[in-house]
């Protein structure tokens, strides 16, 4: 369970106050459409000027990007490379053979090998992050099995969502609000991986930095960001 539930919902940015309102849904499946989920759960709570953030893994689930561990054929390369992945405090990442295999499937064997080679040189010279810079966003977005505590996704590897920027543009066209797809962890990592036109990457990353939606079994894949008129 995430500690984020105890966070103050109101933050002050650029001298103005904003409230973050996590939106609870049911467990999402590949049969769900993110448009329908927003229409059912978020839209009734939204007001003019609001923005809506969408967590990347639940969006990916609706796109059929959650792969059961039992269906992943692990290559020798995935076993070897996963062994050398640096441990991070917020999850396994590609440190599991199944998640590494999904990254290889997404980005290709040659690119992963090149990223591993450059990453190894970077480590020798004290540089961090070269592997993901070269492997690309989809490799960085792969969530290992057990990252999600919510069945059945505790036994799936979840790949990053496809075309998050275009998804946000389509949602804005349908609903009229600003949208952003976010990759957030519980130790201060906050990245907008796609947004509709007019949504400031810098602003929304600051607004969501303390992870108001939580990282556990809260079932809050959406979050309304609203400016308060004092």
Give pLDDT tens digits for 163-220: 999 999 999 999 999 999 999 876 667 899 999 999 999 999 999 998 887 766 678 9
Region of 20 (left: φ > 0; alpha: ψ -120 to 50; beta: rest) is beta
Burial class (CB within 10 angstroms; exposed 0-12, middle 13-18, buried 19+) of 6:
exposed
- Tell me: do 61 and 137 sit in the same domain: no
Pick from 158, 188, 218: which residue ends a domain?
158
Give the pLDDT score at 89: 55
- Tell me: do 90 and 126 sit in the same domain: yes
Given a contact cutoff of 8 angstroms between Cβ atoms, the answer to whether 87 and 54 are in contact is no
In whole angstroms, give the CA distance from residue 136 to residue 159: 13
Let me know how long the chain is: 230
Instruction: State the average pLDDT over residues 142-150.
Output: 86
φ, ψ dihedrals at 183, nearest 5°: -115, 110
Give the pLDDT score at 4: 42
pLDDT for 76 beyond 70: yes
In whole angstroms, give the CA distance from residue 190 to residue 205: 5
Q: In this predicted structure, which of 18-27, 77-86, 157-166 has the lowest mean pLDDT?
A: 77-86
Pick from 130, 158, 186: which residue ends a domain?
158
Task: Please tell me the total count of domains within the chain.
Answer: 2
- Tell me: do 149 and 191 sit in the same domain: no
Q: How confident is the model at residue 21 (pLDDT cuts 50, 70, 90)?
A: very high
- Tell me: do 124 and 137 sit in the same domain: yes
- Please report how many Cα atoms fall inside a 13 Å half-sphere around the Cα of residue 90, on the Cβ side: 16
- Tell me: do 151 and 188 sit in the same domain: no
- Tell me: do 54 and 95 sit in the same domain: no
Pick from 158, 181, 208: which residue ends a domain?
158
- Tell me: do 77 and 149 sit in the same domain: yes
CATH (domain of 201): 3.30.1330.100
User: Which residue from 42, 29, 40 is spatially nearest to 152, judged by alpha carbons?
Assistant: 29
Instruction: State the average pLDDT over residues 25-29.
Output: 94
- Tell me: do 77 and 110 sit in the same domain: yes
Give the pLDDT score at 186: 64
- Tell me: do 58 and 74 sit in the same domain: no
pLDDT for 2 beyond 50: no
Given a contact cutoff of 8 angstroms between Cβ atoms, the answer to whether 204 and 182 are in contact is yes
Specify the 3-state DSSP secondary structure of 83: coil
pLDDT for 6 beyond 70: no
- Tell me: do 171 and 97 sit in the same domain: no
- The domain in which residue 127 lies consists of 67-158
In whole angstroms, give the CA distance from residue 186 to residue 163: 24
Given a contact cutoff of 8 angstroms between Cβ atoms, the answer to whether 145 and 67 are in contact is no
- Tell me: do 58 and 71 sit in the same domain: no
CA distances from 156 to 65, 82, 128, 218 (A): 9, 17, 28, 18
Higher per-residue pLDDT: 132 or 197: 197
Locate all alpha helices (DSSP H) within 74-200, ordered by sequence.
Answer: 76-82, 97-107, 109-124, 130-135, 137-141, 164-175
Given a contact cutoff of 8 angstroms between Cβ atoms, the answer to whether 143 and 57 are in contact is yes
pTM: 0.89
- Tell me: do 104 and 34 sit in the same domain: no
β-strands 51-55, 178-184: how paired? parallel
């Amino acid at each position: 369970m995430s500690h984020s539930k105890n966070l103050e919902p109101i933050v002050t940015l650029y001298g103005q106050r904003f409230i973050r309102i996590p939106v609870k849904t049911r467990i999402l499946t590949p049969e769900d459409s993110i448009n329908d989920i927003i229409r059912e759960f978020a839209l009734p709570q939204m007001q003019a000027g609001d923005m809506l953030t969408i967590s990347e893994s639940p969006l990916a689930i609706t796109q059929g990007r959650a792969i059961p561990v039992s269906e992943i054929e692990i290559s020798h390369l995935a076993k070897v490379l996963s062994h050398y992945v640096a441990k991070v405090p917020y999850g396994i990442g590609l440190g599991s053979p199944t998640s590494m295999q999904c990254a290889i499937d997404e980005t290709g064997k040659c690119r992963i090998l090149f990223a591993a080679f450059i990453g190894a040189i970077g480590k020798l010279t004290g540089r961090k992050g070269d592997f993901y810079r070269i492997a690309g966003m989809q490799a960085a977005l792969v969530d290992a099995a057990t990252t999600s505590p919510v069945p059945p996704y505790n036994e799936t590897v979840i790949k990053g969502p496809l075309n998050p920027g275009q998804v946000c543009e389509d949602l804005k066209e349908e609903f009229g609000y600003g949208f952003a797809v976010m990759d957030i962890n519980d130790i201060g990592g906050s990245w907008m991986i796609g947004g509709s036109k007019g949504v400031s990457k810098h602003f929304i990353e600051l607004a969501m930095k303390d992870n108001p939606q939580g990282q556990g079994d809260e079932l809050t894949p959406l979050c309304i960001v609203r400016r308060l008129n004092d």
